[in-house]
Structure formats: C-alpha cells, structure tokens
Amino acid sequence: MRGKPVAVAGNSRRAVVLTASYEARSFGVRSALPLYKARAACPQLVVVPPEMQKYRTISREIFEILRSRGRPVEGLSLDEAFVDLGELVFDDARSAAAQLRRDLFDATALTVSAGVATGKMIAKIASDSCKPDGLLAVAPGEEAAFLAPLPAGRLWGIGPKMQARLGVFGVVTIGDVAALDPGRAREIFGSWWRQARELAEGIDPRPVDESRDTKSISTEETFEFDEREERRLIDVLRGQARELAASLEEERMVAQTVGVKIKRADFSIVGRQTHLSEPTREARRIFRAAVHCLRRAALDGAPVRLLGTRVASLSLGDPLQTTLF
C-alpha cells in the first residue's frame, strides 16, 4: 500500500466520513459512510477532522491558476472545474492539461487528475477514471468507443433508479444505451431519449460556462445514529449557521433566504425555508431562521438521518445597518 488508510470526518459524536484516501477506499470506506461503519470496515483507519477554511483557501489558489490562462473556467466544487482550452489540436490540448497539472502541483503540492476531451461529460469521466494522479485524453472521434464498455450509470442523468430500470431491459453499458433503437429508447427514457442516446454516443456540445453564479451555499451533516432530540438538532444548526456565516464573510456576500433540509430515518426528505426582511451574513440571524424552519417541519420526535442548512438569494455587499429605535 502507498500509505495509511485515512478518512476525513466530522468532529462531532455523530461523525460521518467526508472523504477517504484510496488506501481506505480499498476497504469499502467512502464519503457519507457513518464513522462507526468505516472503523468496522477498516480497524486501522486514521481519522482526521476537516479543515474547511484551509480547503477554501487552497481552492481559491487553484482557481486563480486555472483562470490565469485567460480561458473560461466553470467550477463544479471546491476542487473540480472544467477549463475551456480553446481550439487547440489534440496533442496541444493534452500538453496544456499536463502543464496545468505541473503548475498546480508546484503551487500547492497537490496531485491533480485531468481528463481531456471534446465534451464536458467525457472529460469528467476521463478525469474520474485516471484518479488519483493521472491524465487521460480521449481523442476526437474516439468518444463512443471510450464510453461503450463503461457501466450505464456513468452516463450523466442516469441515477440508481434509472440504472435499475435499464437492467430490466438488458441495458448494462453505455454502449448498450447508444445501440437502443428509437422506439425502445423512448420507452425507457421518455422525452429525454434523444439526449440520452447522443450522450452515450459521445455527443456533448455544452460549452464551459464561466458565468454560472453561486445560487446558494449549504452545509449538512449525516448523523452516525438517527437523532430524535430537538435540542441536539438545534446544536447542529448553530454550528452550521457559524460555518455559513464564515463562508458568506469570505465571499463578501449576504443572504436573504435561509432553509433547512431534513432527511428522516425512512429517507424521506422535508425542506422548509424562510425569507428574511433584510439580507445578512450574521450567524445569529441565520441560526434563528434555521431553527424557525426546523420547528415548522413539525418533526414531533421523528428520527432524523440528515440535517442541513442553506442560505440563498445571495448578493455581493455588506448587511444593511439597522437602527435600535
């Protein structure tokens, strides 16, 4: 093994795994896994708390390097993005991606996986396929052949339920999706059948969109054991409000909508939100609004599996100064 099995997990008594090293993943440890299950699967697991502030700082540095090329960059998360390399020929595009990986490693000491392709979906799949530290380039014209042997669930838009439905029809791989005749594709996918077949054939003309604005910021916690006590749920909301307030402060943004997401033990999801009279990034106001939403959900002691807080209706600027009288 290359190193110790490590999991980054929340530091409360209800901790879940946020991410895991590849050594840990070989034991079945994965994100969103309750920590007690992770320890059972891998007794020698080394557990460390997350450092979200540090992650955000490094993320900003990474995105600054990506944008320094003057090409559109579309962020997907703290550590994932699409970069438009322009009208480069295939070998030059692959070389540009390799140089980006070197630049990012020199600046941050972080390894980066990259996929190069004519479309975003294939680039994403290629990047996932060469983790933890690789570069995989799919040449123009080879998209369908690259996708064909992969499980149908790797195709964008196909979740677990659709994948199970595909299995009933004997559709197992992306190549099987591409080979569907129009009638059967329409029967399976409905109005989405044409797009599904095009994606399976490697046709993905969507551009890299750098104009996507942040619509909301959220945080959530999956409990190690189902939680029933409102007092403990409120404690979680307090911590989440502080985290969101710090994120808003860092981005110099304010929010006017606060909502909560509640996943019950039966996996049903309840959401409630409220609109504030004035935009804010104060943890105290976010917390009070979140508690209000929690109580509106009327759980009445129902066991909760996950609890999250979200702020939306975001805008740049400072909170309005309110008067005392």
Q: Could you give the CA distance from residue 46 to residue 238 in angstroms, rounded to a whole number?
A: 28
CA distances 139 to 129, 145, 151, 313, Å, are 15, 10, 20, 41
CB-based contact 81:39 (threshold 8 Å): no
Cβ-based burial of 48 (10 A; exposed 0-12, middle 13-18, buried ≥19):
exposed
Q: In angstroms, rounded to a whole number, what is the distance separating the alpha carbons of residues 41 and 43?
A: 6
Residues 217, 78: Cα–Cα separation, whole Å:
12
With beta carbons less than 8 A apart as the criterion, state whether 148 and 175 touch.
yes
Active-site annotation holder among 80, 201, 210, 230: 80
215-224 exposure pattern, b = at least 16 Cβ within 10 A, e = fewer: eebbbbbbbb
The residue behind tokens 């939403």 is: 293
The number of CA neighbours under 13 Å toward the Cβ of 104 is: 25
Lookup result for tokens 């999991």: 7
Cα–Cα distance, 201 to 146 (Å, whole number): 10
Q: Is 250 a catalytic residue?
A: no
**Distances from the Cα of 4 to the Cα of 12, 24, 35, 44, 292, angstroms:** 23, 8, 17, 8, 44
What is the C-alpha radius of gyration for the chain, rounded to an integer number of angstroms?
22
Q: Which helix (DSSP H) or strand (DSSP E) does residue 269 occupy?
A: strand 269-280
Catalytic center residues = 80
